[in-house]
Amino acid sequence: MSCIYVLWLRQLKRYTRSRSRMFASLGQPILYLLAFGFGFGPIFQKAGQGNYIQFIAPGIIGMTVLFNSIFSGIELIWDRQFGFLKETLVAPVSRLLIMFGRTLGGATVALIQGAIMFLVCLGAGFRPLNIHALPAAIAFMALIAIMFTALGTAIASMLSDFHGFQLVMNFLVMPIFFLSGAIYPLASTSKTLEWIARIDPLSYGIDGLRGTLIGVAHFNLGFDLAVLLVLASVLLGLGGYLFSKICL
């Protein structure tokens, strides 16, 4: 357990030392919030869907957590190339515990970034329906963070360098975001796109955030929670297995 705590603390220290990374990682979500929120807001309202900032804010918060989680997992490649991973793996502890510590650290960083983005959304005009539902929203953010940090670790365990990073971004991360219903209501889209969203793990995280923050959910909140718990467990297991097979 002390190993998990040390690795968790190490990830947090990385985050606090790199203020440029802290603010740079918020650039794209803020751009999406402003461009989509205020650009499509009048159209969304004329279509009778209400305030678009209210609708899109949970999606942008989920996007922030997604991106930071994946990148935290991909950092494994950096550690591998510069020898930091070798120093960690020679420790007399289970690789599974090392993976869990890294995952919890990366998930915590992603959760902090999501909380900062929540404050930015408040500044843009977003207002949660019920302030007492915030702990439930944080729980959904935490599950998104753990799930995608574990996925990032699983992917990074199979890559030896950064050459495959653009493939991960273009063919995995961006489709996961855009097909999740983060920026459009699934109830108003085509049946095909709605069914694609059902196999997108982020869809259930966004839906859970939207349900807790503004009281609008496409799926059932209990179902969202159950799916996220199952997926997080599966991806933690997969990430742990692939991490244990790393050859330096």
Q: How far is CA 206 from CA 5, 158, 180, in A?
A: 29, 28, 7
Position 74 scores a pLDDT of 78
DSSP three-state, residue 145: helix
pLDDT tens sequence across 60-116? 999 999 998 988 877 787 777 776 777 677 766 777 888 888 888 889 989 999 999
Q: What is the DSSP string of 55-115?
A: HHHHHHHHHHHHHHHHHHHHHHHHHHHTTHHHHHHTSSS-HHHHHHHHHHHHHHHHHHHHH
d(CA 175, CA 34): 21
pLDDT for 33 equals 92
What is the average per-residue pLDDT within 3-20? Answer: 63
* CB-CB contact of 240 with 97 (8 Å): no
How many domains is the chain built from? Answer: 1
Which residue do the tokens 């929670």 mark? 225
In the three-class reduction of DSSP (H, G, I as helix; E, B as strand; rest coil), residue 105 is classed as helix
Torsion of CA 148, 154, 159, 165, to 10 degrees: -10
The closest of 151, 106, 77 to 11, measured between CA atoms, is: 106
At residue 15's C-alpha, the angle toward residues 133 and 3, to 5°, is 90
126 burial (CB, 10 Å; 0-12 / 13-18 / 19+) is: buried
Report pLDDT for 44: 81
Average model confidence (pLDDT) across the chain? 85
Structural domain of 167: 2-244
pLDDT score, position 17: 60
Find out whether 203 and 197 touch, Cβ atoms under 8 Å. yes
| In the predicted structure, residue 199 carries a pLDDT above the cut 80 | yes
Q: How far apart are CA 52 and CA 181, in angstroms?
A: 13
- The pLDDT value recorded for residue 145 is 95
Section 28-54 average pLDDT: 85
Closest Cα partner for 141 from 221, 32, 230, 228?
228
Confidence of residue 248 (pLDDT cuts 50, 70, 90): low
| Phi/psi of residue 133, nearest 5 degrees | -90, 0
Confidence of residue 41 (pLDDT cuts 50, 70, 90): confident
Residue type, 80: R
Q: What is the per-residue pLDDT across 106-147, written as a single tens digit (0 to 9) for each?
A: 899 899 999 999 999 999 989 998 888 899 999 999 999 999
pLDDT at 141: 96
**Per-residue model confidence as pLDDT tens digits over 19-30:** 556 666 788 898
